[in-house]
Chains A and B, each alone.
Chain A
Amino acid sequence: MAAGRSMEWVKGVKGVILDMCGVLYDSGEGGGQPIPGSVEAIERLMGSGLIVRFCTNETQNTREKFVQKLQRMGFNISVSHVFSPAPALLRILRERGLQPHLLVHDDLMAEFDGVEMTSPNCVVIGDAADRFSYQNLNEAFGVLIGLEKPILFSLGQGRYYKETDGLKLDVGGFMKALEYACDVQAEVVGKPSAEFFQSVLRDMDLQPHEVVMVGDDLVNDVGGAQRCGMRGVQVRTGKYRPSDEQHPSVKADAHMDDLAAAVDAILISDL
Protein backbone atom coordinates (compact mmCIF):
# COMPACT_ATOMS: atom_id res chain seq x y z
CA MET A 1 0.00 0.00 0.00
CA ALA A 2 1.55 3.32 -1.03
CA ALA A 3 1.96 5.81 1.81
CA GLY A 4 1.09 8.62 -0.57
CA ARG A 5 -0.62 10.88 1.91
CA SER A 6 1.81 10.62 4.77
CA MET A 7 5.19 10.96 3.07
CA GLU A 8 6.38 13.39 5.75
CA TRP A 9 8.80 10.82 7.00
CA VAL A 10 11.00 10.95 3.87
CA LYS A 11 11.53 14.71 3.89
CA GLY A 12 15.08 15.80 4.73
CA VAL A 13 16.38 12.26 5.15
CA LYS A 14 20.17 12.19 4.92
CA GLY A 15 20.86 8.79 6.41
CA VAL A 16 19.25 5.38 6.73
CA ILE A 17 19.82 2.73 9.40
CA LEU A 18 18.65 -0.71 8.46
CA ASP A 19 17.79 -3.66 10.60
CA MET A 20 18.99 -6.84 8.93
CA CYS A 21 17.13 -10.00 9.90
CA GLY A 22 13.57 -9.66 8.66
CA VAL A 23 14.44 -6.71 6.40
CA LEU A 24 17.31 -7.91 4.22
CA TYR A 25 16.81 -11.65 4.77
CA ASP A 26 14.95 -14.27 6.76
CA SER A 27 17.10 -16.61 8.84
CA GLY A 28 16.69 -20.37 8.77
CA GLU A 29 18.03 -23.53 7.16
CA GLY A 30 21.36 -23.08 5.41
CA GLY A 31 21.81 -19.62 6.90
CA GLY A 32 18.66 -18.11 5.48
CA GLN A 33 17.16 -16.52 2.35
CA PRO A 34 17.25 -12.96 1.03
CA ILE A 35 13.87 -11.26 1.08
CA PRO A 36 12.74 -10.60 -2.51
CA GLY A 37 13.81 -7.15 -3.70
CA SER A 38 16.17 -6.49 -0.80
CA VAL A 39 19.50 -7.11 -2.57
CA GLU A 40 18.62 -4.69 -5.32
CA ALA A 41 17.19 -2.18 -2.83
CA ILE A 42 20.52 -2.10 -0.98
CA GLU A 43 22.38 -1.53 -4.27
CA ARG A 44 20.18 1.48 -4.99
CA LEU A 45 20.60 2.88 -1.48
CA MET A 46 24.38 2.50 -1.59
CA GLY A 47 24.55 4.40 -4.85
CA SER A 48 22.23 7.19 -3.70
CA GLY A 49 24.57 9.41 -1.73
CA LEU A 50 22.66 8.78 1.50
CA ILE A 51 24.67 7.59 4.50
CA VAL A 52 23.79 3.97 5.18
CA ARG A 53 24.45 1.86 8.26
CA PHE A 54 23.20 -1.53 9.47
CA CYS A 55 22.08 -2.25 12.99
CA THR A 56 21.52 -5.78 14.09
CA ASN A 57 20.93 -7.64 17.34
CA GLU A 58 22.02 -10.77 15.54
CA THR A 59 24.21 -12.67 17.99
CA GLN A 60 24.27 -16.14 16.55
CA ASN A 61 27.58 -15.35 14.87
CA THR A 62 30.54 -12.96 14.90
CA ARG A 63 30.06 -9.76 12.95
CA GLU A 64 32.62 -10.83 10.35
CA LYS A 65 31.06 -14.24 9.71
CA PHE A 66 27.62 -12.69 9.64
CA VAL A 67 28.57 -10.11 7.01
CA GLN A 68 30.30 -12.81 4.93
CA LYS A 69 27.03 -14.77 4.97
CA LEU A 70 25.11 -11.78 3.70
CA GLN A 71 27.71 -11.02 1.04
CA ARG A 72 27.30 -14.60 -0.21
CA MET A 73 23.59 -13.89 -0.54
CA GLY A 74 24.47 -11.00 -2.83
CA PHE A 75 24.31 -8.05 -0.42
CA ASN A 76 26.87 -5.34 -1.01
CA ILE A 77 27.79 -4.45 2.58
CA SER A 78 31.00 -4.17 4.57
CA VAL A 79 31.77 -4.94 8.22
CA SER A 80 32.58 -1.32 9.04
CA HIS A 81 28.98 -0.35 8.32
CA VAL A 82 27.49 -3.03 10.58
CA PHE A 83 26.75 -2.39 14.26
CA SER A 84 26.01 -5.32 16.53
CA PRO A 85 25.83 -5.80 20.33
CA ALA A 86 28.93 -7.91 20.97
CA PRO A 87 31.56 -5.25 20.20
CA ALA A 88 29.53 -2.74 22.23
CA LEU A 89 29.42 -5.17 25.14
CA LEU A 90 33.16 -5.79 25.00
CA ARG A 91 33.75 -2.06 25.43
CA ILE A 92 31.46 -2.03 28.46
CA LEU A 93 33.15 -5.04 30.06
CA ARG A 94 36.56 -3.40 29.63
CA GLU A 95 35.39 -0.03 30.98
CA ARG A 96 33.87 -1.62 34.09
CA GLY A 97 36.47 -4.31 34.68
CA LEU A 98 33.92 -7.11 34.38
CA GLN A 99 34.46 -10.80 33.68
CA PRO A 100 31.50 -12.51 32.02
CA HIS A 101 29.83 -15.87 32.44
CA LEU A 102 28.52 -16.42 28.91
CA LEU A 103 25.25 -17.95 27.80
CA VAL A 104 25.53 -17.21 24.11
CA HIS A 105 25.54 -19.04 20.78
CA ASP A 106 28.59 -21.24 20.17
CA ASP A 107 29.44 -19.24 17.06
CA LEU A 108 29.55 -15.96 18.99
CA MET A 109 32.26 -17.17 21.37
CA ALA A 110 35.02 -16.01 19.03
CA GLU A 111 34.01 -12.38 19.76
CA PHE A 112 35.19 -13.01 23.33
CA ASP A 113 38.70 -14.27 22.46
CA GLY A 114 41.14 -12.79 24.90
CA VAL A 115 38.47 -11.74 27.41
CA GLU A 116 39.27 -12.81 30.96
CA MET A 117 36.53 -15.16 32.22
CA THR A 118 38.08 -17.12 35.08
CA SER A 119 36.22 -15.29 37.88
CA PRO A 120 32.90 -14.20 36.43
CA ASN A 121 31.25 -11.24 38.12
CA CYS A 122 28.46 -10.80 35.63
CA VAL A 123 26.33 -12.89 33.27
CA VAL A 124 25.94 -12.21 29.54
CA ILE A 125 22.97 -13.69 27.72
CA GLY A 126 22.58 -13.64 23.93
CA ASP A 127 20.51 -15.42 21.32
CA ALA A 128 21.81 -18.84 22.30
CA ALA A 129 19.09 -20.88 20.52
CA ASP A 130 19.67 -24.58 21.34
CA ARG A 131 22.04 -23.67 24.15
CA PHE A 132 18.99 -22.43 26.10
CA SER A 133 18.71 -25.64 28.09
CA TYR A 134 17.56 -25.91 31.71
CA GLN A 135 21.09 -26.86 32.68
CA ASN A 136 22.73 -23.84 31.04
CA LEU A 137 20.09 -21.42 32.30
CA ASN A 138 20.43 -22.89 35.78
CA GLU A 139 24.19 -22.45 35.62
CA ALA A 140 23.79 -18.78 34.66
CA PHE A 141 21.23 -18.39 37.45
CA GLY A 142 23.67 -19.97 39.90
CA VAL A 143 26.37 -17.44 39.01
CA LEU A 144 23.97 -14.49 39.36
CA ILE A 145 22.38 -15.57 42.64
CA GLY A 146 25.86 -16.09 44.09
CA LEU A 147 27.02 -12.54 43.33
CA GLU A 148 26.71 -9.89 45.98
CA LYS A 149 25.85 -7.45 43.21
CA PRO A 150 24.22 -9.44 40.40
CA ILE A 151 24.84 -7.90 36.95
CA LEU A 152 23.04 -9.29 33.93
CA PHE A 153 23.70 -8.09 30.36
CA SER A 154 21.29 -9.03 27.61
CA LEU A 155 22.34 -8.69 23.98
CA GLY A 156 19.05 -7.28 22.77
CA GLN A 157 15.67 -8.06 24.33
CA GLY A 158 13.66 -9.25 21.32
CA ARG A 159 10.66 -11.46 21.97
CA TYR A 160 11.00 -13.60 18.88
CA TYR A 161 12.31 -13.62 15.31
CA LYS A 162 11.24 -15.26 12.12
CA GLU A 163 12.98 -18.27 10.70
CA THR A 164 12.00 -19.95 7.46
CA ASP A 165 10.09 -22.59 9.46
CA GLY A 166 8.23 -20.27 11.81
CA LEU A 167 8.66 -17.85 14.71
CA LYS A 168 11.29 -18.70 17.32
CA LEU A 169 11.99 -17.46 20.84
CA ASP A 170 14.58 -14.69 20.96
CA VAL A 171 16.78 -13.75 23.92
CA GLY A 172 14.13 -11.52 25.57
CA GLY A 173 12.11 -14.29 27.21
CA PHE A 174 15.23 -15.83 28.69
CA MET A 175 16.38 -12.44 29.91
CA LYS A 176 13.02 -12.03 31.67
CA ALA A 177 13.34 -15.53 33.13
CA LEU A 178 16.65 -14.69 34.79
CA GLU A 179 15.41 -11.25 35.86
CA TYR A 180 12.45 -12.88 37.59
CA ALA A 181 14.50 -15.65 39.17
CA CYS A 182 17.09 -13.27 40.65
CA ASP A 183 14.95 -10.17 41.06
CA VAL A 184 17.39 -8.09 38.99
CA GLN A 185 17.01 -5.86 35.97
CA ALA A 186 19.11 -6.68 32.92
CA GLU A 187 21.18 -4.06 31.11
CA VAL A 188 20.28 -4.32 27.45
CA VAL A 189 23.16 -3.89 25.00
CA GLY A 190 22.07 -3.40 21.41
CA LYS A 191 18.66 -2.27 20.12
CA PRO A 192 16.63 -0.61 21.58
CA SER A 193 19.20 0.90 23.93
CA ALA A 194 19.70 4.61 23.28
CA GLU A 195 23.47 4.33 23.71
CA PHE A 196 23.56 1.78 20.92
CA PHE A 197 21.65 3.96 18.45
CA GLN A 198 23.66 7.01 19.44
CA SER A 199 26.94 5.26 18.71
CA VAL A 200 25.69 4.61 15.18
CA LEU A 201 24.54 8.22 14.74
CA ARG A 202 27.97 9.44 15.89
CA ASP A 203 29.58 7.24 13.27
CA MET A 204 27.27 8.70 10.62
CA ASP A 205 27.86 12.24 11.89
CA LEU A 206 24.17 13.02 11.49
CA GLN A 207 21.44 14.37 13.74
CA PRO A 208 18.68 11.98 14.75
CA HIS A 209 15.98 13.87 12.85
CA GLU A 210 17.96 13.41 9.63
CA VAL A 211 17.92 9.64 9.90
CA VAL A 212 15.25 7.03 9.31
CA MET A 213 15.41 3.52 10.81
CA VAL A 214 13.85 0.70 8.83
CA GLY A 215 13.04 -2.51 10.73
CA ASP A 216 10.59 -5.39 11.22
CA ASP A 217 10.46 -5.20 15.02
CA LEU A 218 8.01 -2.49 16.02
CA VAL A 219 9.16 -2.06 19.60
CA ASN A 220 12.92 -2.58 19.34
CA ASP A 221 13.64 -1.14 15.88
CA VAL A 222 10.96 1.49 15.33
CA GLY A 223 10.18 2.40 18.95
CA GLY A 224 13.82 2.42 19.97
CA ALA A 225 14.78 4.68 17.05
CA GLN A 226 11.89 7.07 17.66
CA ARG A 227 12.84 7.47 21.32
CA CYS A 228 16.22 8.75 20.07
CA GLY A 229 14.58 11.32 17.82
CA MET A 230 14.84 9.34 14.58
CA ARG A 231 12.00 8.38 12.30
CA GLY A 232 10.99 4.74 12.37
CA VAL A 233 9.45 2.73 9.55
CA GLN A 234 8.17 -0.82 9.95
CA VAL A 235 8.31 -3.23 7.01
CA ARG A 236 5.72 -5.95 6.69
CA THR A 237 8.30 -8.72 6.40
CA GLY A 238 10.17 -10.81 8.96
CA LYS A 239 8.52 -10.88 12.37
CA TYR A 240 5.92 -8.26 11.44
CA ARG A 241 2.37 -9.19 12.49
CA PRO A 242 -0.79 -7.26 11.48
CA SER A 243 -1.53 -6.55 15.16
CA ASP A 244 1.64 -4.40 15.20
CA GLU A 245 -0.31 -1.70 13.36
CA GLN A 246 -2.62 -1.38 16.39
CA HIS A 247 0.10 -1.31 19.03
CA PRO A 248 -1.01 0.66 22.11
CA SER A 249 2.15 2.74 22.46
CA VAL A 250 4.39 2.57 19.39
CA LYS A 251 3.15 4.21 16.19
CA ALA A 252 5.50 3.78 13.22
CA ASP A 253 6.03 6.83 11.01
CA ALA A 254 5.04 4.56 8.12
CA HIS A 255 4.39 0.95 7.22
CA MET A 256 5.95 -0.32 4.01
CA ASP A 257 5.38 -3.70 2.44
CA ASP A 258 9.10 -4.45 2.31
CA LEU A 259 12.55 -2.88 2.05
CA ALA A 260 12.21 -2.38 -1.72
CA ALA A 261 9.06 -0.30 -1.18
CA ALA A 262 10.70 1.68 1.63
CA VAL A 263 13.73 2.46 -0.54
CA ASP A 264 11.46 3.47 -3.44
CA ALA A 265 9.77 5.99 -1.17
CA ILE A 266 13.05 7.34 0.20
CA LEU A 267 14.71 7.72 -3.21
CA ILE A 268 11.70 9.29 -4.92
CA SER A 269 11.78 12.10 -2.42
CA ASP A 270 15.46 12.52 -3.16
CA LEU A 271 14.90 13.48 -6.77
Chain B
Amino acid sequence: MATRRRLKAVLIDLSGTLHIEDAAVPGAQEALARLRQAPVTVKFVTNTTKECKRTLFERLRQLNFDLQEQEIFTSLTAARNLLEQRAVRPLLLVEDSALEDFTGLETSDPNAVVIGLAPNHFNYQTLNKAFQLILDGAPLIAIHKARYYKRKDGLALGPGPFVTGLEYATDTRATVVGKPKKAFFLEALRDLNCSPDEAVMIGDDARDDVGGAQNTGMLGILVKTGKYRHGDEDKIKPPPHLTCDTFPDAVNHILEHLVESK
Protein backbone atom coordinates (compact mmCIF):
# COMPACT_ATOMS: atom_id res chain seq x y z
CA MET B 1 0.00 0.00 0.00
CA ALA B 2 2.96 2.30 0.61
CA THR B 3 3.58 3.17 -3.03
CA ARG B 4 0.00 4.14 -3.81
CA ARG B 5 -1.34 7.61 -3.38
CA ARG B 6 -4.17 8.36 -0.98
CA LEU B 7 -7.49 6.83 -2.03
CA LYS B 8 -9.81 9.51 -3.35
CA ALA B 9 -12.54 7.68 -5.26
CA VAL B 10 -14.47 4.42 -5.28
CA LEU B 11 -16.22 3.29 -8.48
CA ILE B 12 -19.02 0.81 -7.96
CA ASP B 13 -20.69 -1.42 -10.56
CA LEU B 14 -24.48 -1.71 -10.30
CA SER B 15 -26.14 -4.89 -11.55
CA GLY B 16 -24.57 -7.94 -9.94
CA THR B 17 -22.67 -5.90 -7.35
CA LEU B 18 -25.17 -3.69 -5.51
CA HIS B 19 -28.27 -5.58 -6.60
CA ILE B 20 -29.31 -8.72 -8.45
CA GLU B 21 -32.33 -7.87 -10.60
CA ASP B 22 -34.87 -6.37 -8.20
CA ALA B 23 -33.24 -7.44 -4.94
CA ALA B 24 -30.44 -5.59 -3.16
CA VAL B 25 -27.37 -7.55 -2.11
CA PRO B 26 -27.91 -8.08 1.65
CA GLY B 27 -26.20 -5.36 3.68
CA ALA B 28 -25.27 -3.33 0.64
CA GLN B 29 -27.26 -0.21 1.54
CA GLU B 30 -25.67 -0.03 4.97
CA ALA B 31 -22.21 -0.68 3.56
CA LEU B 32 -22.65 2.18 1.10
CA ALA B 33 -23.65 4.47 3.96
CA ARG B 34 -20.47 3.55 5.86
CA LEU B 35 -18.35 4.14 2.79
CA ARG B 36 -19.82 7.61 2.41
CA GLN B 37 -18.54 8.51 5.88
CA ALA B 38 -14.96 8.07 4.69
CA PRO B 39 -13.15 10.90 2.85
CA VAL B 40 -13.74 9.39 -0.59
CA THR B 41 -16.00 10.24 -3.53
CA VAL B 42 -18.31 7.54 -4.78
CA LYS B 43 -19.46 6.97 -8.36
CA PHE B 44 -21.70 4.29 -9.82
CA VAL B 45 -20.59 2.94 -13.19
CA THR B 46 -22.30 0.59 -15.62
CA ASN B 47 -22.45 -0.56 -19.23
CA THR B 48 -25.96 -0.09 -20.49
CA THR B 49 -27.40 0.69 -23.87
CA LYS B 50 -31.07 0.56 -23.06
CA GLU B 51 -31.62 2.27 -19.74
CA CYS B 52 -31.23 5.96 -19.16
CA LYS B 53 -29.74 7.30 -15.91
CA ARG B 54 -33.13 8.20 -14.46
CA THR B 55 -34.37 4.60 -14.75
CA LEU B 56 -31.26 3.25 -13.05
CA PHE B 57 -31.50 5.90 -10.35
CA GLU B 58 -35.14 5.14 -9.62
CA ARG B 59 -34.44 1.42 -9.34
CA LEU B 60 -31.65 2.01 -6.83
CA ARG B 61 -33.73 4.46 -4.78
CA GLN B 62 -36.53 1.91 -4.61
CA LEU B 63 -34.01 -0.51 -3.12
CA ASN B 64 -33.16 2.12 -0.49
CA PHE B 65 -29.70 3.01 -1.73
CA ASP B 66 -28.58 6.51 -0.85
CA LEU B 67 -27.33 8.18 -4.05
CA GLN B 68 -27.80 11.12 -6.42
CA GLU B 69 -28.60 10.75 -10.11
CA GLN B 70 -25.46 12.67 -11.08
CA GLU B 71 -23.31 10.08 -9.30
CA ILE B 72 -24.26 7.58 -11.97
CA PHE B 73 -21.94 7.26 -15.00
CA THR B 74 -22.94 4.90 -17.79
CA SER B 75 -21.61 3.92 -21.18
CA LEU B 76 -24.36 6.11 -22.60
CA THR B 77 -22.98 9.06 -20.61
CA ALA B 78 -19.53 8.23 -21.91
CA ALA B 79 -20.88 8.31 -25.47
CA ARG B 80 -22.63 11.61 -24.88
CA ASN B 81 -19.49 13.19 -23.43
CA LEU B 82 -17.48 12.04 -26.44
CA LEU B 83 -20.03 13.51 -28.84
CA GLU B 84 -19.88 16.83 -27.01
CA GLN B 85 -16.07 16.82 -26.95
CA ARG B 86 -15.94 16.21 -30.68
CA ALA B 87 -18.80 18.62 -31.37
CA VAL B 88 -20.54 16.21 -33.74
CA ARG B 89 -24.20 15.57 -34.54
CA PRO B 90 -25.11 11.92 -34.03
CA LEU B 91 -27.30 9.45 -35.85
CA LEU B 92 -28.44 7.58 -32.72
CA LEU B 93 -29.03 3.86 -33.26
CA VAL B 94 -30.10 3.55 -29.67
CA GLU B 95 -33.33 2.30 -28.02
CA ASP B 96 -35.97 4.95 -27.38
CA SER B 97 -35.65 4.27 -23.65
CA ALA B 98 -32.05 5.47 -23.76
CA LEU B 99 -32.58 8.57 -25.90
CA GLU B 100 -33.24 10.66 -22.81
CA ASP B 101 -29.52 10.63 -22.00
CA PHE B 102 -28.83 12.41 -25.29
CA THR B 103 -31.28 15.26 -24.96
CA GLY B 104 -29.90 18.60 -25.94
CA LEU B 105 -27.67 17.23 -28.67
CA GLU B 106 -28.31 18.35 -32.23
CA THR B 107 -29.25 15.32 -34.34
CA SER B 108 -30.35 16.79 -37.66
CA ASP B 109 -27.91 16.45 -40.57
CA PRO B 110 -25.84 13.88 -38.62
CA ASN B 111 -22.07 13.58 -39.04
CA ALA B 112 -21.44 10.83 -36.48
CA VAL B 113 -22.95 7.41 -35.82
CA VAL B 114 -23.66 5.98 -32.34
CA ILE B 115 -24.53 2.30 -32.02
CA GLY B 116 -26.12 0.74 -28.95
CA LEU B 117 -28.40 -2.24 -28.63
CA ALA B 118 -31.28 -1.21 -30.86
CA PRO B 119 -33.10 -4.11 -32.56
CA ASN B 120 -35.68 -1.72 -33.98
CA HIS B 121 -32.97 0.21 -35.81
CA PHE B 122 -30.96 -2.75 -37.07
CA ASN B 123 -32.76 -3.01 -40.38
CA TYR B 124 -31.21 -2.75 -43.82
CA GLN B 125 -32.43 0.77 -44.50
CA THR B 126 -31.10 2.30 -41.28
CA LEU B 127 -27.86 0.35 -41.38
CA ASN B 128 -27.30 1.62 -44.93
CA LYS B 129 -27.80 5.17 -43.71
CA ALA B 130 -25.20 4.62 -41.00
CA PHE B 131 -22.89 2.96 -43.54
CA GLN B 132 -23.10 5.87 -45.97
CA LEU B 133 -22.43 8.42 -43.22
CA ILE B 134 -19.34 6.53 -42.03
CA LEU B 135 -18.08 6.17 -45.60
CA ASP B 136 -18.38 9.95 -45.87
CA GLY B 137 -16.14 10.35 -42.82
CA ALA B 138 -18.52 10.22 -39.85
CA PRO B 139 -16.90 8.62 -36.77
CA LEU B 140 -18.47 5.38 -35.56
CA ILE B 141 -19.00 5.28 -31.79
CA ALA B 142 -20.00 2.00 -30.12
CA ILE B 143 -21.58 2.00 -26.66
CA HIS B 144 -20.02 -1.42 -26.23
CA LYS B 145 -19.35 -4.52 -28.34
CA ALA B 146 -21.16 -7.33 -26.56
CA ARG B 147 -21.61 -10.34 -28.86
CA TYR B 148 -24.97 -11.33 -27.44
CA TYR B 149 -27.09 -11.09 -24.33
CA LYS B 150 -29.58 -13.27 -22.52
CA ARG B 151 -33.26 -12.72 -23.23
CA LYS B 152 -36.21 -14.66 -21.85
CA ASP B 153 -36.42 -16.58 -25.14
CA GLY B 154 -32.71 -17.38 -25.34
CA LEU B 155 -29.61 -15.62 -26.61
CA ALA B 156 -29.96 -12.60 -28.88
CA LEU B 157 -27.47 -10.56 -30.94
CA GLY B 158 -25.84 -7.66 -29.09
CA PRO B 159 -24.51 -4.46 -30.66
CA GLY B 160 -21.04 -5.98 -31.23
CA PRO B 161 -21.89 -7.88 -34.43
CA PHE B 162 -23.42 -4.80 -36.06
CA VAL B 163 -20.46 -2.63 -35.09
CA THR B 164 -18.09 -5.25 -36.51
CA GLY B 165 -20.10 -5.44 -39.73
CA LEU B 166 -19.99 -1.68 -40.24
CA GLU B 167 -16.28 -1.58 -39.43
CA TYR B 168 -15.68 -4.16 -42.17
CA ALA B 169 -17.95 -2.54 -44.73
CA THR B 170 -16.38 0.90 -44.24
CA ASP B 171 -12.83 -0.25 -43.45
CA THR B 172 -12.79 1.89 -40.31
CA ARG B 173 -12.55 1.20 -36.56
CA ALA B 174 -15.20 2.12 -34.06
CA THR B 175 -14.42 4.02 -30.88
CA VAL B 176 -15.83 1.82 -28.13
CA VAL B 177 -16.78 3.83 -25.05
CA GLY B 178 -18.01 1.29 -22.51
CA LYS B 179 -16.23 -1.00 -20.02
CA PRO B 180 -13.59 -2.42 -20.18
CA LYS B 181 -12.13 0.46 -22.22
CA LYS B 182 -9.60 2.72 -20.47
CA ALA B 183 -11.45 5.71 -21.85
CA PHE B 184 -14.55 4.74 -19.90
CA PHE B 185 -12.75 4.63 -16.55
CA LEU B 186 -10.74 7.76 -17.23
CA GLU B 187 -13.90 9.60 -18.20
CA ALA B 188 -15.63 8.41 -15.01
CA LEU B 189 -12.78 9.87 -12.95
CA ARG B 190 -12.40 13.08 -14.94
CA ASP B 191 -14.79 15.29 -13.00
CA LEU B 192 -13.62 13.83 -9.67
CA ASN B 193 -10.23 15.41 -10.21
CA CYS B 194 -8.72 12.06 -9.47
CA SER B 195 -6.06 9.99 -11.21
CA PRO B 196 -6.43 6.20 -11.59
CA ASP B 197 -3.88 5.42 -8.89
CA GLU B 198 -6.11 7.23 -6.41
CA ALA B 199 -9.14 5.08 -7.21
CA VAL B 200 -10.54 1.59 -6.70
CA MET B 201 -13.28 -0.25 -8.66
CA ILE B 202 -15.69 -2.82 -7.20
CA GLY B 203 -17.51 -5.17 -9.61
CA ASP B 204 -18.68 -8.71 -10.39
CA ASP B 205 -17.26 -8.94 -13.93
CA ALA B 206 -13.61 -9.98 -13.76
CA ARG B 207 -12.77 -8.83 -17.27
CA ASP B 208 -14.94 -5.78 -17.80
CA ASP B 209 -14.98 -4.32 -14.25
CA VAL B 210 -11.79 -5.41 -12.52
CA GLY B 211 -9.54 -6.09 -15.51
CA GLY B 212 -10.57 -2.89 -17.22
CA ALA B 213 -10.06 -0.79 -14.09
CA GLN B 214 -6.68 -2.30 -13.26
CA ASN B 215 -5.57 -1.83 -16.83
CA THR B 216 -6.22 1.87 -16.32
CA GLY B 217 -4.08 1.98 -13.19
CA MET B 218 -6.80 1.58 -10.59
CA LEU B 219 -7.10 -1.14 -7.96
CA GLY B 220 -9.83 -3.69 -8.62
CA ILE B 221 -11.97 -5.65 -6.16
CA LEU B 222 -13.89 -8.64 -7.53
CA VAL B 223 -17.10 -9.61 -5.72
CA LYS B 224 -18.51 -13.11 -5.95
CA THR B 225 -22.06 -12.09 -6.71
CA GLY B 226 -23.94 -11.52 -9.97
CA LYS B 227 -22.23 -12.99 -12.99
CA TYR B 228 -19.16 -14.14 -11.05
CA ARG B 229 -18.21 -17.78 -11.77
CA HIS B 230 -15.75 -19.86 -9.78
CA GLY B 231 -12.23 -19.23 -11.05
CA ASP B 232 -12.95 -15.86 -12.70
CA GLU B 233 -10.20 -14.28 -10.59
CA ASP B 234 -7.66 -16.46 -12.41
CA LYS B 235 -8.75 -15.21 -15.80
CA ILE B 236 -7.20 -11.76 -15.59
CA LYS B 237 -3.60 -10.61 -15.31
CA PRO B 238 -2.73 -9.18 -12.93
CA PRO B 239 -5.28 -10.86 -10.66
CA PRO B 240 -7.71 -8.69 -8.71
CA HIS B 241 -6.23 -6.70 -5.85
CA LEU B 242 -8.86 -8.50 -3.78
CA THR B 243 -11.53 -11.11 -4.39
CA CYS B 244 -14.23 -11.18 -1.73
CA ASP B 245 -17.75 -12.46 -1.19
CA THR B 246 -19.91 -9.35 -1.48
CA PHE B 247 -19.98 -5.58 -1.71
CA PRO B 248 -20.12 -5.13 2.10
CA ASP B 249 -16.89 -7.17 2.36
CA ALA B 250 -15.28 -4.96 -0.26
CA VAL B 251 -16.26 -1.86 1.69
CA ASN B 252 -14.82 -3.34 4.89
CA HIS B 253 -11.51 -3.92 3.14
CA ILE B 254 -11.42 -0.40 1.75
CA LEU B 255 -12.18 1.18 5.12
CA GLU B 256 -9.63 -0.96 6.94
CA HIS B 257 -6.75 -0.94 4.45
CA LEU B 258 -7.08 1.64 1.71
CA VAL B 259 -8.42 4.74 3.37
CA GLU B 260 -5.92 6.77 5.34
CA SER B 261 -7.07 7.14 8.90
CA LYS B 262 -7.13 10.75 9.96
A residues with a Cβ closer than 8 A to B are 129-135, 137-138, 141-142, 145, 159-160, 166-170, 172-174, 176-181, 183
Contacts A173-B168, A173-B169 hold; do A133 and B161 have CB atoms under 8 A apart?
Answer: no
Sorted nearest first, the 10 A-B pairs with minimum C-beta distance are A173-B165, A177-B161, A173-B169, A177-B165, A134-B122, A180-B164, A176-B168, A134-B119, A181-B161, A132-B124
A-B contact pairs, 6 of them (CB 8 A): A133-B123, A145-B155, A169-B124, A174-B165, A176-B168, A177-B165
| In contact, B124 and A137 (Cβ under 8 angstroms) | no
Q: How far is the CB of B121 from chain A (nearest CB, A)?
A: 8
B176 to chain A: closest CB distance in Å? 13
Q: Does B33 contact A (CB under 8 A)?
A: no
Q: Is residue B236 within 8 Å, beta carbon to beta carbon, of the partner chain?
A: no
Within 8 Å CB of A137, what residues of B?
122, 157, 161
Q: Is the interface of A mostly helix, strand, loop or mixed?
A: helix
When the two chains form their complex, are residues A134 and B171 in contact, meaning their CB atoms are under 8 A apart? no
Set of chain A residues within 8 Å of B161, measured between Cβ atoms: 137, 141, 176-178, 180-181
- Secondary structure call for the B interface: helix
**Residues of the B chain whose Cβ atoms lie less than 8 Å from the Cβ of A166:** 132
Q: B127, B154, B155, B158: which contacts A169 (Cβ < 8 A)?
A: B127
Instruction: For the complex formed, measure the closest distance between the CB of B16 and the CB atoms of chain A, giving whole angstroms.
Output: 23
Establish whether residues B128 and A169, one from each chain, have CB atoms under 8 Å apart when the complex forms: yes
Assess A159 versus B157: contact at CB under 8 Å? Given A166-B132, A180-B164: no
- Assuming the A-B contacts A138-B157, A176-B168, are A181 and B148 also in contact, with contact meaning beta carbons closer than 8 angstroms in the complex? yes
Interface code B106-137, partner A: CB below 8 Å = 1, 0 otherwise? 00000000000001101111011001100100
Looking at A130, A138, A166, which has the most chain B CB atoms within 10 Å of its CB? A138
